[in-house]
Amino acid sequence: MRLRFYYWGLVIVWHSLLLVAAYFLLHETYYWFMLAQLGLLLSLVFAYRVYRHFRRPLDLISGGKSALQDRDFSVKYRLTGAREVDALVATYNNMIDTLREERTLLQEQHYFLRKLIEASPSGILIMDYDGNITETNPAARQIIGFDPSSSDEEHPLLSAAFDLALGDSLPIIIEGANHYRLEVSAFIDRGFQRKFVQIQTLTGEILAAEKRAYGKVIRMMAHEVNNSIGAINALLDTLTVSEEEIDEQWVIDVRESLPIASKRNHQLNVFMRNFADVVRLPDPQRERIDLSQVLPQIATLFQAQAQQQNTSFRLGYLAGRVPELPLLKSEVGSRKSEMIPPSQFISADSNQLEQVLVNVVKNALESVSQDGEVQLILTERPRQIIIADNGPGLNQEAAAGIFTPFFTSKPNGQGIGLTLVREILTNHDYQFSLATDEDGWTRFIIAL
């Protein structure tokens, strides 16, 4: 308004002065005086057109300002044909399109976030710049029991939430049974930081984890008991004969077998007692043990089971540097165990190492059919214990999941044995592998 007033005031004053000057200078000459008046009229027309030319952008700016003030991003202008004005119109229209798209995107994101917060299973407390709770979601109201944004009631979770600093995480137990975790984060609102607190309910997860842990331990304990008792029962069954079959050799076999069964029962008792003392597998209690005594005892423990299923079970020692895929070169079908040289000492937990060998040898015997063969080999360089069998081998699925907890390919298996084997050998820092090689033999190799 002020610009238009100044402009027309200047035009009127300027043309009035020109008209007065023309009158005093040209009034005696009628022709020139009329010509001067025509020139002034044309000047006024030109001034009006100039006014229209620069007024149009001002009208556009004024209309755009009103639309922006009203947050109306649907108002756009048409091109006028004037280059300068059209440039302004194009810029304004592009700006309006950008603002409309960004506003739509922000509204959609805001709507999505609101829905996400409302549907979140975790409780969420949103605070203002002063740390007061302004918004909550349904999960938070359900956990706390009331809406803290509209109530001054106290609650242990609220007290803990107010005391936490940005980035902190705090587990909290209420009434001895309800487990929660509080985590504090922040977001930027209009250039300033605001905190929000997540309340995660852990009660159900903790109970489920405890149940899984108890179930795993119980199944593992039952599995180990069954493994050892099965081998011991098979050994004892071979000693059950009629009075006519009792001879000197039978007495020798009894004297040799019963101490081994008794020792295995004692070690199994120790193993089970350790599980009762702690939930996890006990750390290995390393001692100096002689493999020349341990391996023959394992062979004797399973010799009866091998005989019952007509399987060749061989125990042997390979001195010097051994081939990549070692096997015992003894007579096929022989059940006589080769001697293990003395003084093969290692540092290990004897109970846990025997438990490993019991599991692996039992699996090897179960994998072979009648007339199959299982070998228990000790190699010198490199020092390894190898349990090999010529059963059907591992298929692709079994090879991928053989050490996965509770994975089993047996109809009545529990998937515990090799999991326990893996944990024991890992705790001993022993490298191990299980694979079916190109020659058709499946080998479990323990690098000592």
Q: Which domains does the chain carry? A: 2-109 (no CATH), 120-201 (3.30.450.20), 216-447 (3.30.565.10)
Mean pLDDT of 368-373: 82
Question: What percent of the chain has a predicted confidence (pLDDT) above 90?
Answer: 6
419 near 413, Cβ under 8 Å?
no
pLDDT at residue 388 above 90? yes
Residue 204 vs residue 146, higher pLDDT: 146
Give 386's Cβ-side CA count (13 Å radius): 27
What is the predicted pLDDT for the residue at 332? 39
Distances (CA, A) of 95 to 74, 75, 76, 143: 11, 11, 10, 46
Tens digit of each residue's pLDDT (9 = 90 or more) over 293-330: 889 889 888 888 888 888 888 888 888 777 778 888 75
Closest CA to 378 of 294, 287, 277: 294
> Could you read off the pLDDT of 170-206 as tens digits, one per residue?
888 775 557 788 888 888 877 788 888 888 877 666 5
* Residue with the larger pLDDT of the pair 389 and 224: 389
* pLDDT given for residue 73 in this prediction: 66
Q: Tell me: pLDDT of 428 over 70.
A: yes
Of the pLDDT bands very low, low, confident and very high (cuts 50, 70, 90), residue 287 is very high
pLDDT at 118: 84
Q: Give the pLDDT confidence score for residue 385 in this predicted structure.
A: 93
Closest to 345 measured CA to CA, from 293, 300, 301, 267: 293
pLDDT in tens, 322-364: 777 888 875 433 333 455 666 788 999 988 899 899 989 988 8
pLDDT at 241 over 80: no
Q: What pLDDT does residue 337 have?
A: 42
pLDDT band for 56, please (50, 70, 90 cuts): low
Q: Which residue has the higher pLDDT, 298 or 18?
A: 298
pTM here?
A: 0.44
Q: Do residues 127 and 194 touch, judged by C-beta distance below 8 A?
A: yes
Identity of the residue numbered 282: P
Pairwise pLDDT comparison (68 vs 412), residue with the higher score: 68
Residue 425: enclosing H or E segment and its boundaries? helix 417-427
What whole-number distance in Å separates Cα of residue 77 and Cα of residue 85?
11
Cα separation, 296 vs 386, whole angstroms? 14
pLDDT of residue 319: 80
